[in-house]
A and B are shown apart, each in its own frame.
Chain A
């Protein structure tokens, strides 16, 4: 499975998606290309595999029902990442309301998820890093994940999160400092 598409493949897929005759088969192809990338984007935010599977499905269903509004102005990946981000945030807010969590401990749910997650077989450093990331606010967490793990350019993150490059760099900088402090405090 190809993880990325070059410019001509992107243009061809966009044309197929916007044509009612070919959109269904093009959509299937698009899912095959992007499902794994989106899965990991969501998973790093939600931690739990089961929650991620639900949100991933919601993301693609939303993409399908809103295909008419996709004109090809943005890249397909950017469009999908934006939907995935919004669905993830909506999910977290809903889960927060259900769990009746206080403002002072919004990341507690994610910490619990990490402890209980049966699909984690990383080492202690990876666990500590994920727990540190879980202490960040949702949007800052997303910025950090996209930049640190995915090496995504700031310009692309800017399009997805609708935030200026300068603000993103600042956000990433503060996120990294908080994580470093978290590691430092654990060593003490």
Chain B
């Protein structure tokens, strides 16, 4: 094989050509791609900080929890019939609760609900 003559096919050129300006454009485009890659790498390394911030923001402040409990408790008291049927109850008792105690029938409840609080009280408790 050492005596073998190197081949010669009449040309050492391929005849292929490259578009004008290709290499300048190519290098510019490559730089942009590398910028994108690096920016993506920075974003991927950042999430541990962001998730901590997001986690913190999902925690409710103590005062909102306390307010929610108070609201629920208040609603419970408001709807509790035993308390509101007390004859010694003040004028501002709840007509809905009264209707629930005195009448299970819906139409009567609705009729009662349309009356003013004092009218109901007077009708039920005030002796003529």
Residues of chain A whose beta carbon lies under 8 Å from any beta carbon of chain B: 24, 27-28, 31-32, 35-36, 39-40, 43-44, 47, 49, 53, 56-57, 60-61, 64-65, 117, 119-123, 125-127, 129-130, 132, 148-149, 169-170, 173, 176, 179-180, 183
Residue on A with the closest CB to B41? A65
A61 touching B34, Cβ below 8 Å: yes
Residues of chain B whose beta carbon lies under 8 Å from any beta carbon of chain A: 1, 4, 7, 9-19, 22-23, 26-27, 29-31, 33-34, 37
B contact patch SS: loop
A180 with B11, Cβ < 8 A, contacts A49-B19, A122-B16 known: no
A35 with B23, Cβ < 8 A, contacts A61-B37, A65-B37, A126-B11 known: yes
A148 touching B12, Cβ below 8 Å: yes
B18 touching A49, Cβ below 8 Å: yes
B11 surroundings in chain A (CB, below 8 A)? 122-123, 125-126, 129
B12 touching A31, Cβ below 8 Å: no
Residue on A with the closest CB to B7? A176
- 23 A-B pairs in the complex with CB atoms less than 8 angstroms apart: A32-B27, A35-B23, A39-B18, A40-B14, A43-B14, A49-B18, A57-B26, A61-B33, A61-B34, A65-B37, A119-B16, A120-B16, A122-B15, A125-B9, A125-B11, A126-B14, A129-B9, A129-B11, A130-B14, A130-B15, A173-B4, A179-B9, A183-B9
A57 touching B33, Cβ below 8 Å: yes
A47 surroundings in chain B (CB, below 8 A)? 16
Task: Determine the distance from Cα of A183 to Cα of B8 in the docked complex, in whole angstroms.
Answer: 12
Beyond the given pairs A61-B33, A126-B15, 10 more chain A to chain B contacts, judged by CB atoms under 8 angstroms and listed by A's residue number, are: A31-B30, A35-B23, A35-B26, A39-B23, A47-B16, A61-B37, A119-B17, A129-B10, A148-B12, A169-B1
B29 touching A57, Cβ below 8 Å: yes
- Chain A nearest CB from B62 CB (Å) reads 47
Residue on A with the closest CB to B17? A119
- Chain B nearest CB from A30 CB (Å) reads 11
A120 with B30, Cβ < 8 A, contacts A125-B9, A173-B1 known: no
Task: Determine the distance from Cα of A123 to Cα of B7 in the docked complex, in whole angstroms.
Answer: 19
B18 surroundings in chain A (CB, below 8 A)? 39, 43, 49, 119
Residue on B with the closest CB to A114? B16
Task: Determine the distance from Cα of A126 to Cα of B14 in the docked complex, in whole angstroms.
Answer: 6
Residue on B with the closest CB to A177? B7
Query: Among the interface residues B12, B16, B26, which one has the most CB atoms of the partner chain A within 10 A?
Result: B16
A32 surroundings in chain B (CB, below 8 A)? 27
- Chain B nearest CB from A50 CB (Å) reads 10
Task: Determine the distance from Cα of A40 to Cα of B12 in the docked complex, in whole angstroms.
Answer: 13
Task: Determine the distance from Cα of A119 to Cα of B18 in the docked complex, in whole angstroms.
Answer: 6
Task: Determine the distance from Cα of A179 to Cα of B30 in the docked complex, in whole angstroms.
Answer: 37
